[in-house]
Structures are given as C-alpha cells and as structure tokens.
Chain A
Amino acid sequence: MGETGRGSTAAYNYPRFDDYVADGGDVADEDAFWASPRAGQRAPDFVVPRLGDGAGVRLSDLWRSRPLVMEFGSFT
C-alpha cells in the first residue's frame, strides 16, 4: 500500500478521529464489515505475530480443533 490516499497505510492509521468521521471513514468501514465473509463462508487465514514472543501464529491452527473467538480492538 502507498503512503497517501484512501486505502494507504497513512489513511488506515488515521491520526484524528474527527477527520476520519468527516471523511466518511466510519461509514466505509461499516460497509467493509458487511462485505466481509458471511456466516458459513470460509474465514480468511493469516499468520500473525503474537505479542510477547513475536512467534507467528497461523489462525487456522487455532480453529482446527475447536471454535476460535477472535475479538478485534485497540487500546483507545
């Protein structure tokens, strides 16, 4: 991804919440949620580093033997 414009790293990590709302970012992100895989469809698989030891964790390894609850969020 580039450095400017919607979809860029800089736009994704917006510095100001009011500007994000003024630009319609919250509406676009709500739309992105409803466009994401639906119940019954295959979940996207990734390898993601674990905080602490940095070990790469493959999501599909976590949901292989039992359902996986994935909560998304941040500190703020």
Chain B
Amino acid sequence: MFIYTREAHPGENVPHHDNFERKLASAKLLAEEAGIGRDILVDDLDGTVHHAYGLMPNMTWVIGWGGRVAYKANWTSATNVEAFLGRFLSGRAGHPPGTSPAMYETQQAEFRYPDRKRFMQHLGRNGPRAVAEFEKAQQLWAQRTPT
C-alpha cells in the first residue's frame, strides 16, 4: 500500500498542492505514469498521516499484527524491506503464539539515490525549476557544518 503525501520536488509541470483537487490529480500521475499498481491512499492537504509517521519523503513502515510498529526506515529500500519481511514472517512461524518480538535497532548510511542519473531525469520531468532548486539545495547542504 502506498500513501501519497506532498510533492517533494515540485516544478512547473508538477506543482505543490494548494488544494485537494490538485493533490488528487498529482496522485493520479503517480498511478498512471509512475506505474504504482498497489492501492494508493491519499493523505489530506495538511499531511495528517504524514505528520504522524514522521514526514520523510520516501519512507517505509511495516505494521505487524496488533497494530505494533514492526519496521520503520526513513528511506525506502525494497531490498531491506523484503529481507525484513522474510525474517519477520518466518520468525513468527517459529515461535509460540503470543510471543512478542523485541525491538532490534539498526542504523546505516547509504546513498539515497543509487541511480543518480535516473533521479536527475525525474527532476527534469517535474520542470526546470525542480532541477535548479535541487542544485541550489546541494550548495546549501555543502555549507552546513558537519555534526
């Protein structure tokens, strides 16, 4: 299932949302042009669901039986999600009913756009402004003091 939030890199062709009708139209682009075949749920204009789950532009959560958070990643990695699901499902099958999993925390540093050329092509599709604004953002990131 996919939750459609706000446009991360708005441009001339795909602008930011200033009303819900525009938001619905952009969500349709996601279904038709990006080929998302899963159910797409459209968050409200204020981003109520997005706020509750942490506001990152492309994150994945897995919610387990009973509504407990089983997995959260601030950036989507299909490989990571699939590996986790395999362990989670087989682990449950191997334990007595009612056994609760414990929190198992991992942090890792990875490149968010492993296919940078494709990412830049997508920015161009949004409009020239989206490309220019991303380049300016990169300059801003470079100026930040490392912590």
- State the A residues within 8 Å of B (CB): 1, 9-10, 12-22, 28-30, 32-46, 48-52, 57, 59-60, 62-76
Contact = CB atoms under 8 A, between A and B. Distances in A.
B38 to A, nearest CB: 8
Chief secondary structure at chain B's binding surface: mixed
A64 B122 CA distance: 36
Contact of B54 (A10, A22, A33, A64): A33
Interface of B: 1-11, 14-18, 24, 26-31, 33-34, 38-43, 45-65, 67-72, 74, 76, 81, 85, 88-89, 100-105, 122-123, 126, 129-130, 132-134, 136-137, 140-141
Main secondary structure of the interface of A (DSSP, over half): mixed
B5 A73 contact: yes
Nearest to B30: A75
B19 to A, nearest CB: 10
Given A33-B59, A68-B62, A50 B68 contact: no
Contacts of A40: 68-69, 100-103
